[in-house]
Structures are given as structure tokens and as C-alpha cells.
């Protein structure tokens, strides 16, 4: 769970129709302005659809697919014994469930993400659970991950 101090990754959502990427998210206000002025594209908030016709031609039998791209997680990869760490954004229902189970102050939470990683069996002995934190020796410095 994260609050407003978390620096959210950008360009994590892609829209596809008939195997072609027709849109994505962006935080770049200049790109949003540029595409909002064009007739062949459609802008909705920070989502840009490059092909307005694909939006018109999609239906329940031929839907637009939204993909949330997995992101690398170098903060975890820096911990000795952990590799291939990735993170992704959960569904709204998963987020709501996690928020209900984990957070005491619901107003502070703005979002969540899920993290997956591999643990080297030899290095797993160095991961210690202490007061609801996992402590590990980071290659550069000590790292604490809240549970």
C-alpha cells in the first residue's frame, strides 16, 4: 500500500485492438495536448488513444484489451539473494481487499501494487523477520521491507 509520497511509475498501461497498440497512458502534458488537438486520436484524462476508429469499431465481440505492464523492481533486486523482482498494479477489487486487511487509516492510502521475486535458497537464511519487517543485507546498505 502506498500514499502520496510514492513516485508512481508512468506509461504502464497499453491498449490493444486486433493485435495493434492503439493507446497508452502518459503523464507528459505536451503529448496529451498534442493528441487532444488531432482529429484521428482521442484523449481521456492521461490515456491517449492514437486510433479513434478502433474505439468506434470495438464491441463486446471484438473488445479493446488493456494491459498493465509489469515493472522491474531494482530496490529488491539490490538485496543479495533476491532476483527477477517485478511489480504490477492489482485489480480494483484486490486493492480494496488489501487496503481493508492491511491499513488502519484508509484515508492515507492512494494505491497499491503487488511484488513478485525469486529467492535464492542459499541466501534465504539471511532474511530475518523482525517486528513485522523483513531485514536483509542490501548490496549497498541495509534494506527494510514492511510486511
User: How confident is the model over 6-21, as pLDDT tens digits?
Assistant: 776 778 889 998 889 9
Q: Per the structure block, which three cell numbers stand in for 46? A: 492521461
The pTM assigned to this predicted structure is 0.57
22 phi, psi to nearest 5 deg: -110, -5
For residue 111 the three cell numbers come to: 494505491
> Which pLDDT belongs to residue 144?
45
At 81-118, the pLDDT tens digits run: 888 888 887 777 888 888 888 777 767 667 788 888 88
The most confident of the ranges 42-46, 77-81, 133-137, 139-143 is 42-46
Burial class (CB in 10 A: 0-12, 13-18, 19+), 118: exposed
**Distance between CA 42 and CA 80 in Å, rounded?**
45
- How many Å separate Cα 51 from the centre of its chain? 24
**What are the start-end ranges of the H helices in 4-140?**
29-36, 52-57, 74-77, 92-102
Amino acid at each position: 500500500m502506498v500514499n502520496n509520497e510514492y513516485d508512481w511509475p508512468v506509461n504502464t498501461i497499453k491498449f490493444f485492438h486486433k493485435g495493434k497498440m492503439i493507446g497508452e497512458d502518459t503523464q507528459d502534458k505536451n503529448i496529451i495536448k498534442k493528441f487532444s488537438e488531432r482529429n484521428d486520436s482521442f484523449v481521456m484524462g492521461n490515456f491517449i488513444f492514437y486510433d479513434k476508429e478502433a474505439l468506434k469499431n470495438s464491441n463486446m465481440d471484438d473488445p479493446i484489451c488493456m494491459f498493465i505492464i509489469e515493472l522491474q523492481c531494482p530496490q529488491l533486486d539490490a538485496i543479495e539473494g533476491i532476483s527477477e523482482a517485478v511489480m504490477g498494479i492489482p485489480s480494483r477489487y484486490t486493492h480494496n481487499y488489501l487496503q481493508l486487511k492491511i491499513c488502519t487509516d484508509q484515508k492515507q492510502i492512494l494505491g497499491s501494487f503487488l511484488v513478485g521475486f525469486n529467492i535464492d535458497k542459499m541466501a534465504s537464511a539471511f532474511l530475518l523477520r523482525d517486528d513485522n519487517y523483513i531485514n536483509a543485507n542490501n548490496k549497498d546498505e541495509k534494506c527494510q521491507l514492511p510486511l
